[in-house]
Amino acid sequence: MLRYNILFYGISALVFIIDQLTKVIVKKSFFPGEIVRVLPFLNLTFVENKGIAFGLFHDGGDIKQYVLLVFTIIAIAVLIYMFYALKDNSSKRAVMFGFIMGGALGNLYDRLFHGAVVDFIEVYYRTFHWPVFNMADTFITIGIAFIFYFQIFKKEHII
């Protein structure tokens, strides 16, 4: 169990650090709203997101900020509870949960200390543009996708 705890918290910390480093680089290198084309389908676009994932609920004022903070804290608590409640932990579970935890902590940190989450990755195809996101969102999505993959296609009991 100790090995899985170390892996879970280590991955969480690594994801948090990667997320925060990329956001610091973006904040120091770009001004808000600046768009830099990287590839024919990828821009770096500095956006300060006061909503939730992908800019949803961007409007709503201070009460929305408090609700988002409480929701994020509850989600982190549920994630930690699930990690410890499941008796048959594995390295896979520790990594997947670590991705989600580190990403959630990265966005929570931004919300608490900056009032908004820094987003900067914009993927598009012709006129279709996916909402701008960040590394925390990427790791959360990868963690959840792997959980679904192992649960549904591999029939492994992850959660």
Catalytic residues, which ones? 119, 137
Q: Is 61 left (phi over 0), alpha (psi -120 to 50) or beta?
A: left
Written as one letter, the residue type at 124 is Y
